[in-house]
Amino acid sequence: MPPASSVMIGNENQPYDPGPTVPSESMPSPPSPTESVSTQPARNLTQSVVRTLAMQAGFLEAGAVSLPHPGSARDALRFEQFIQSGFAGSMQYLARRNEEGVLVRADIRTPFPWARSILVCLAGYHSQAPLSTAPASPSAGWIARYAWSGRPLQPGESIPKGGDPAQLRPSDYHKVLLKRLRTLESSMRTAFGGFESRAYVDTGPVVERAAARAAGLGWTGKNTCLIHPTLGSWNFLAVLVTSLPLAEEEAALAIPDRCGTCRRCLDACPTGALIEPYKMDATRCISYLTIEHRGEIDDNLKAGIGRQIFGCDICQDVCPWNQIASRKAPIVAQGSGLATRPELVNPDLDWLASLESADFERLFNGSPVRRAGFAGLRRNLAIAMGNSRLSRYRARLQEWAGPHSDRGNDPSREDSSSVQLTPLQSAARWALRQLGSTGEEQ
């Protein structure tokens, strides 16, 4: 699924009281990854040790928050409102309740009564590749930046049939960051002794962005993303839930909301998913539609999807804080397992449309893109082809549209039979209608 810091799920769907203003220069500098930590078990959980150990494990930044923190009840209420409003769409895992009818994800202490603190770690996926909002060929699709990740071929690893040994292999941030969390967890046991814990990367009953905000790692932007003042919002969030207490004097200082009067993200959202500042209807979000939603996509939303075939970066790419991050934030190291696969940046629609199921598995098995599924990716490609207005896609779309899509010598005409169309067929027929007889020959 999309990363917890991204726009897809509107967990933080209301404005919040940012608390006391904290000047950016008062934020503590990140500790050196080489800073030594005592191997003798400590009595109390401390922010400095957490941050040092997290950086040694490969994260860019980290913080800890005690449970319950001052905003716990408010965050639980907002999550309840998000679910009650139907904004989660078909993501039923978000609406799971316990036997008492309490939303499991609203408060981490519901599934884990022993939890006394959450460690939140940031890992960046910033790269020097173009933004989704930059000029591009009309035949280019867009895959969300976080899903470009790859890794070098490992010693002794066989090359997939038809694969290039020099090409990066697919990697999934879930696995890469979970490994780092396990390293952090081991170091924590050395530093603090035994404790109960759970490690999650977008897979647990945690509202990660709420925890990250409470841990002093940023504020909730109007696009519902967590924004760090120097790292922006191009970050993964990984959490370690622990039974370790955090002393009151170790509570993180809140970073105030710095969005000001800016509303670039709201104005740029093509499908109107950001229905007001800090509030999202995920059922209109392109990330939800192209990844989580398995069925047919509403015709009223297809034009807004544009060339996005997996996820969406628009509300982040227009954010001024990410423009700052593009100058200051570290570029992901090539050996981190999260390197950019060049072929996934502005990928050619023809190339992706030519893939068969086996090709899809070879290219995306182990990649976040696989979550959309082969049929889902083709559905998304059909919509992007229709939005391109390039008539060279007509033959492919007619193939996907199924029998009788060209009835009456009009390839855009709907099949009047009672046969239930698949999401791909429906998308292809919509795309043919967009091409009509005026598609550009390019």
Residue positions annotated with a catalytic role: 202
Rounded Cα gap, residues 380 and 294, in angstroms:
11
36, 97 Cβ separation under 8 angstroms:
no
Which residue matches tokens 């009456």? 408
308, 286 Cβ separation under 8 angstroms:
yes
Q: Which two three-digit tokens encode residue 82? A: 């998000």
Rounded Cα gap, residues 271 and 161, in angstroms:
40
Length of the chain: 442
Q: Which two three-digit tokens encode residue 162? A: 């038809």
330, 124 Cβ separation under 8 angstroms:
yes
Side-chain-side CA neighbours of 210 within 13 Å: the count stands at 29
Sheet holding 61-66, edge to edge: 61-66, 117-124, 235-242, 197-200
13, 215 Cβ separation under 8 angstroms:
no
H or E segment to which residue 149 belongs: strand 149-151
Pick from 76, 70, 71: nearest CA to 97? 76
Cis peptide leading into residue 68 (ω within 30°): yes
